A and B are shown apart, each in its own frame.
Chain A
Amino acid sequence: MSSASNVGFRLMALKRMGIVDNYEKIREYTVAVVGVGGVGSVTAEMLTRCGIGKLLLFDYDKVELANMNRLFYQPHQSGMSKVEAAEKTLKEINPDVEFEVYNYNITTMENFDHFMDRIKNGGMKENTPVELVLSCVDNFEARMAINTACNEIGQSWFESGVSENAVSGHIQFIIPGETSCFACAPPLVVATKTDERTLKREGVCAASLPTTMAVVAGFLVQNTLKYLLKFGEVSYYLGYNALQDFFPKYAMKPNPQCEDRFCCKQQISFKEREALKPKVEAVEEKEEEVVHDDNPFEIELVSEMTEEESKAAEGETPELTEGLRLAYTTPSQNTQEDASASIENTEKSIEELMKEMKGL
């Protein structure tokens, strides 16, 4: 089978119809998909069918029978590592795609440097970076690890997620220094007019629907294609409220006081790059400024919280668009009082402390 037939003439027709200038360019691009579960596996399959040049897949999970309500994996693959199973299936679909797969947890010291190295050097030509990183992980820790890596490298990436109640989801495009990073503000939540405070969580951590995951994967790959092949507009934040079929869109500038120091560095170099650019008139970005409102933002609390807790919680809250809210707020730096005492300094060495702990 020739490459052209693998990519498919209907994709090539996009070029003939004038939607995309040069569809074949897709074969030169590398995308890293971190997390190949419900969203990531479908994402990888779509990219494979679109004829992407190379995929890097990261995940440390195994295929489980209990997850067969999701797409992509098949019962006979249970027990296999997800990345291994995915590579096998995807190669059958399109043998022209190159793969690098890693069956490990990116958030540990053991693997994080290797993960960063592959983002920096895993492009189609060795020692070139990947074009894009797609976060399809299901937890805060891994998202933050990807954020840390991408801020350090200056790598553009997409965050994606499906809520634990499975009826909302989002994608977010992060260009370090230029748009809000994952650490700039507490995570955004797509509000779905259900009362999350009464959300019954007894007996389970999270629900999942293949439909919501497929919609989010579709958003993610659509925007990936737009970014790589330069057509249409790439969304910065696109939410999906499945209960009302509402799709909030939003763009947020980075926080100059971001906790991630590499984010702050990237913001400075972005400003320097912008200053060097020749001035183009009247092409104003339609990004919304982060407004620090005097009136506290209408905070919807995630869980039952006392009034004092919510008062203590009033940190800086950006003005958001309809249908979006922050998952929680954090206090402004100086207003915190602590009920507990801080740790005292010690002359003891770490070995002595370890011994003391063991002797308890």
Chain B
Amino acid sequence: MVDEATKRTLAKIPLLKTKAGPRDGELWVQRLKEEYMSLIKYVQNNKESDNDWFRLESNKEGTRWFGRCWYIHELLRYEFDVEFDIPVTYPTTAPEIALPELDGKTAKMYRGGKICLTDHFKPLWARNVSKFGIAHAMALGLGPWLAVEIPDLISKGVVTHKEKQAEGADN
């Protein structure tokens, strides 16, 4: 089951309307606009609730996404690169979000640093096909993953704090 906080976060992310994937030409352009609007709203929500935790951008076709995400643990900020492709079967299948820097450092990942999603992710995504977008995948997939895995990786000493913070991702 999804926890209450995630549910509330999810409820505030606007749902998407256009069912289209990257092979659908003009319809994809429309979908991409909706993806951006939904993401912008989600980031704004996060800022308002003092929980800003990622930035994303894409190539101009909107098929490849990349950016940064961060997690605050004991007042220290841990940052990671995020990347993923939009599969040809999107939005029927969710994007596989990857944190390449952590590849090989945890068993909770598939090859290439793709995060292992919990059992409830797929059914939820399937029930909301086309209405859920990238913002929902971040909120439901990567957000909870970081919250569980990063403290664990820190305690095991696998992830250590870098003094030098990346520039431009301040808040």
Contacts and interface: CB of A to CB of B under 8 A. Distances in A.
A107 B16 contact: no
A331 interface: yes
A204 B107 CA distance: 5
B43 A360 contact: yes
A338 B15 contact: yes
B61 interface: yes
Interface stretch (B75-83, B126-134, B157-165): B126-134
Given A108-B63, A338-B131, A343 B34 contact: yes
B13 A340 contact: yes
Given A61-B111, A354-B57, A357-B56, A313 B123 contact: yes
Interface residues of A, number: 50
Interface in B36-54: 36-40, 43-44, 47
Contacts of B44: 360
Interface string A330-347: 110000101111111010
Nearest to B171: A360
Contact of B57 (A108, A204, A344, A357): A357
Interface residues of B, number: 55
Interface in B78-97: 85-89, 92-94, 96
Given A309-B1, A330-B127, A331-B127, A340 B14 contact: yes
Contacts of A205: 107-110, 116
Given A204-B108, A342-B16, A353 B40 contact: yes
Given A302-B119, A339-B11, A340-B14, A144 B63 contact: no
B44 to A, nearest CB: 7
Interface string A155-195: 00000000000000000000000000001001000000000
Interface of A: 61, 105, 107-109, 112, 138-141, 144-145, 147-148, 183, 186, 201, 203-205, 259, 302-306, 309, 312-313, 327-328, 330-331, 336, 338-344, 346, 348, 350, 353-354, 356-358, 360
26 contacts: A107-B88, A107-B89, A108-B63, A108-B87, A109-B61, A109-B63, A112-B23, A140-B122, A145-B89, A183-B92, A186-B126, A302-B119, A302-B123, A312-B127, A328-B122, A328-B123, A330-B126, A340-B13, A342-B17, A343-B15, A343-B38, A344-B37, A350-B32, A354-B57, A354-B60, A357-B40
Interface of B: 1, 10-17, 22-23, 29, 32-34, 36-40, 43-44, 47, 55-58, 60-63, 85-89, 92-94, 96, 107-111, 116, 118-120, 122-123, 126-127, 129, 131
